[in-house]
Structure 1
Amino acid sequence: MGSQKTEFEAEHSSHSKQSRIITKVLSPAVRLLLRSQVQQVDHLDVQISGGDRQILSGYIPQVAISAQNAVYQGLYLTQLEIEGKNIRTNLGGVLRGQPLRLLEPIPVFGEVRLDESDLNASLKSPLLAEALTTLLKSFLPEKSITYEAVHWEQVTIGCDRLIIKGTIASDRQMPLTLDTRLELIDGQTLALKELQIHSDTELFDIDYFQIDLGSEVAIETLTLTSGQLLCCGRINVLP
């Protein structure tokens, strides 16, 4: 009886020791990888699920990540809740001191909430500013403006509508306004409806314009309420 108890205790101790390795190595490696991708984050929580043998072989069945007030490539995210499944990593290399990296693409499911203040702060991001200017150039005469000439300054989120204001620097500062209704057509397609582009001298009315979000994206819901944008869906994260 005492021998059986000793064997059980030894097995339990080995299991605990193995779990401690995962806790001490894998979770910090994931947090380090995520923190290296963001400029700032107020709260970051990582929950890793799976058996010890699976995880130590480099296979992670599931990772759930939540973050608050994160900044990624200049984009401000009020709240982020995502979940990735069937993840293959180089965990053997991590145990030898290498940085964690993905070995295969993974589908990531999640929810992102953006407050109006976050979108306004994100206008300083080249990623968002260039995307807006590219959209604007789709409707203006060729070479009428340059990317450097447009300065985006303010976003207002209404119910199903976005109003984005800025200026165009030419001989003088010309005010500019984009006013549009947003509608999700399918997982990869976003529509701008009743789009109006105002400047000092011109007004463009566009009834309907489609934006292809790409094959790596599958948006399920996109909701705009007063002062807030909520997006749920899937994106494929590539190694």
Structure 2
Amino acid sequence: MKLIPVLVLLTLAGIGGTGYFYWEYQKAQKEIKTIKTDPSTAQKAAQEEVKKLTAEVGMLVELPQDEDPTVATVIDAEKLKEQPFFAKTQNDDKVLIYTKAKKAILYRPSTKKIIDIGPIRDVQDESGQAGDQAASPSPSPANVVVTLYNGTNNAGLTNKVETTLKSKYTNLDIRRDSSVKKEYENTLVVDLSGKFKDMVKNIITTLSAQSGPLPEGEVKPTTDVLVIVGKDAI
């Protein structure tokens, strides 16, 4: 598990603009507590917490398998909320940072919900060298707009799926409608915009759904993702 460097530059990019903030070690004592590994009793405690967190988050989304995350705890949410990635954060939220996979996850253990997921890209540090000394999580832009089609004759299925998705993800804007065809056996997820591939994968995993193109004859909604709920959701 890597340590957060003395100076970490986080570039938080969202629709309509980009925000920046510096994560300095001394200030972090007041704003974010970093879980570190060291050759002491604290190492075991830190590793156990990381293990617990990755197990919980891994139940909600697919996590990188070839690295352990750097984990931080938010202890002053108000000072971070100006940044889009932390707009919905609360004290005691956890940030899991995967530098190899270039992914950051904001997670709330108290409700076992993922608050936001953002990609990470390397940026140059003050010496002009890119790498582990600087990283920039860029959050998923705004909400992901999802349309739910009921692909069966069973009423209420889209409401059930909406409840499931909203219980795990807070950045979904969900709309409901009916499909043209009503004989779908399996739930199908269609990535319409191609802008939120990580979230599409998460939805597929959460619903144990299949992925594929828009079925012939179905109306294409003007949203990012389409979920056609099948009989397997009954």
Question: Same-fold call, TM > 0.5?
Answer: no
State the structure with more CA Rg: 1
| Higher percent of residues as helix | 1
Q: TM-score, normalised by structure 1?
A: 0.29
Higher relative contact order (CA 8 A, sep 6+): 2
| Higher percent of residues as strand | 1
